[in-house]
Amino acid sequence: MAGALASAMLFMASAHAQDSSPLSLSDRVARLEQQSQGQNQTRMAQVNQLQQMQSQMQQMQGQIEELQHQLQQLQDQSKAQYTDLDSRVGRLEKGGASANPAPAANGPASAATTPVATTPGAPVAGPAPATPPPAPTAPAESAADKAGATTSYNAAFKSLKAGDYVASSRGFREFIQKYPNDSLTPNAFYWLGESYYATTNYQVAVEAFNHLLSQYPQSDKAPDALLKLGYSQLQMKQTDAGAATLKSVIAKYPSSNAAKLAQERLTRLSQQPAH
């Protein structure tokens, strides 16, 4: 009887030991899984933070570009206002000049012969008054054209800032066709290229940038146009041509912001693995 009891107790102890061993192992596995899940959550949180930072950087870059656009618009408006003011002053000067010497067509003697304007016997006085009237009207038309050009340009630029690149490209094309000699035409070519670049129409963007560089090499937009020309070539997989264009930006405009951006792009390009 005692032997049977001892055997039963030994059997129960063995069974308990066998039962407890798998439970301990499962606890360890569960603990490891929890730790692994915690690490995965930490990594996901880090990835999310990195993505948020990248998104914020992109937003900041967009805000910087918008501020640059607004600054350029203010500069363009200032130029337009200066041109309009200069034309008004010119009209006033011409109007004041035509009020006195117009009757005299004989050169320096006009000051002394001003009363002759009322004398019917002075045949040379006829053609003289005929020429001054167009002088005031021509600048008036020019001022009106300038106002229309500024309105048209601003409308296209507003579409560009709103992200409506189709409307902006159409607006800048119409502006260029209607006002080919306006002071804002070089800028219109640049933003036309930007509109096409934003819609990945790189070939047409290249044409716009090249036109600006060939027709208006002294434009303030020339460095940026040359930079975006290089960007467009890189997007079209013309790596050698794009790199050469970016190097020319640095060579021609070493102190410009475009040169800094070109250098940064060349650095990234050199770090890319060769295919």
Least confident of 81-85, 142-146, 219-223, 260-264: 81-85
Q: Is 104 helix (H, G, I), strand (E, B) or coil?
A: coil
Does the structure show a pLDDT above 90 at 115? no
Exposure string for 136-161, b = 16+ CB within 10 A, e = fewer = eeebeeebeebeebbebbbbbbebbe
Is residue 162 predicted with pLDDT exceeding 60? yes
State mean pLDDT over 121-150.
54
Question: Domain 145-271's class?
Answer: mainly alpha
DSSP state letters, 106-123? SGGGGTTTGGGGG-TT-G
Where along the chain do its domains lie?
145-271
Q: How confident is the model at residue 79 (pLDDT cuts 50, 70, 90)?
A: low
Q: Which pTM value belongs to this model?
A: 0.50
| Residue 250: pLDDT band with limits 50, 70, 90 | very high
Assign 66 a pLDDT band (cuts: 50, 70, 90): low
pLDDT confidence bin for 120, thresholds 50/70/90: very low
What gap in Å lies between CA 231 and CA 265, rounded to an integer? Answer: 9
